[in-house]
Every structure is written in structure tokens, then in C-alpha cells.
Amino acid sequence: MSKKIFLAATLALALAVAAPVEAKKKSRVPNIDFGNMTCREFIDEVKESDKEDIGAILLWLDGYLSGVTGDTVLNWKKLEVITERLLERCQARGKTMLLDAIREVGAE
């Protein structure tokens, strides 16, 4: 088994085991409506969230972008670049809708 497959399987197992505990802990966290979120709201959300929540948000956005573009590869370096561009775009244009911003930076 390759190292990447082993790491992915280990991560999936850890998430599966931790999910019930996390779900109970996070049950007080409201759902996020990305379709109605502005960049300013996104920046505020990131500032108030912990690393795990930010990671989940960024993976959701990457999945959304993948659905828009048809790209089915989770490229960690590309995700890092897109995240940096998204944060820059959102800081500069707070009123822009978040999903518009992620499509713009994902197409660059």
C-alpha cells in the first residue's frame, strides 16, 4: 500500500471514530449557507473559527469549485494557492458573494 493511500485511510478512520464525539460537541454550531454569504462574512467566520472548522470550510469550498470546474483532483498546493487568493479577494471586496469570489479565483 502506498504511503498516500495509507495516510488517507488512516485519516478516514480517525474521522469516522471522532465524528460522533465531534458531532455532539458541534451540535450547537449553526449550519452555513455559503450561497448567501458575503466575503466580509466569510472573513469574519474564519477569524472566529478554529483550525478544524476552517479546514472543513475550505474543503467544502474546494469541493464546490470542483463541481463548477469538473476538476476531480484534490491538489493540496492548488488548494493553498486558491485559499490565499480567496482571502485576498475577500479582504479587498467584502461585499462580493463568497461563491462568486471562489469561482473567480478558481478560474485564474
Domain 32-107, classified CATH 1.10.890.10, yes or no: yes
* CA 97 centroid distance within chain: 15
Give the tens place of pLDDT for each residue, 33-55.
Answer: 999 999 999 999 989 888 999 99
CB of 62 within 8 A of CB of 82?
A: yes
Domain ranges within the chain, ordered by starting residue: 1-30, 32-107
Selection from 83, 15, 23 nearest residue 7 by Cα: 15
Which residue in this structure is represented by grid cell 469549485? 65
Give the tens place of pLDDT for each residue, 49-98.
Answer: 889 999 999 999 999 999 999 999 999 999 999 999 999 999 999 999 99
How many angstroms separate the CA atoms of 2 and 62, rounded?
Answer: 25
